[in-house]
Amino acid sequence: MRADAVRTRKQLLDAAAELFAEGGAEVSVAEIAERAGIGKGTVFRHFATKEDLIAAIVGDLLDDLVDAAEKRGSLREFMVYGVGRLADNRALCDVASGSVRHPDVQAGVERLNEAAQRLVDRAETREGVTGRDVVLLMTGVHQAAAPLRDAEPELWRRYLGFLLDGLLDTGSSAPHSRT
């Protein structure tokens, strides 16, 4: 790959990551190209399809979450981190809601489910809770708080608290204790 192509590709990926984070996967290719300072045709030289570009961006986000699942100690910590990421990245919300059907993305979600499962195995949760449940419920918590994202950006923490009290089977802290 030629040196200038590498530079161009980086500009493209940076712009796409930024715009997808702000506006979700519906951001137009033209807009991304403009932000990257390149032509629209160039976008399709690097990625055959818009979906492929989305998959490249979202794949990194999912990898980051998998890392978090493996490095963070507790299920609770992981969920706090995960919902936080959902809250500041709309593209992640799009994959969570199933509107991104790219195979790479689905594989990434599968890896995330498995990583979450490992956390569940180590945690004391209600009977029958799976890693997949945890991942889905994180998106639910975020979606609930999303309409007030601007007015109350920290609302999801409260909602995640409600859920965790119903989900975790902690012998220590009583479920309904404040914060």
Q: Which does residue 126 touch among a second copy, DNA, none (CB within 5 to 8 A, set by kind)?
A: a second copy
Residue from 46, 132, 149, 157 binding DNA (CB under 7 A): 46
Q: Using the rule CB under 8 A, is 80 a contact of a second copy?
A: no
- By CB under 7 A, tell whether 40 contacts DNA: yes
For a second copy, the closer CB: 10 or 158? 158
Half-sphere CA count of 69, side-chain side, radius 13 A: 27
Contacts to DNA from residues 9-28, by CB under 7 A? 9, 26, 28
Footprint of DNA on 110-139 (CB under 7 A): none
- 1 sits near DNA (criterion: CB under 7 A): yes
The string of DSSP codes covering 10-61 is HHHHHHHHHHHHHH-TTS-HHHHHHHHTS-HHHHHHH-SSHHHHHHHHHHHH
Distance CA 79, CA 89 (A): 15
Burial class (CB in 10 A: 0-12, 13-18, 19+), 18: middle
Length of the chain: 179
Which 94-153 positions form the footprint of a second copy (CB under 8 A)?
96-98, 126-127, 133, 136-137, 139-148
Sort residue 66 into left (φ over 0), alpha (ψ -120 to 50) or beta: alpha
User: Which among DNA, a second copy, none contacts residue 113 (Cβ within 5 to 8 A by kind)?
Assistant: none
User: Would you tell me which residues interact with DNA (CB under 7 A)?
Assistant: 1-5, 7-9, 26, 28-31, 37-42, 44-46, 48-51
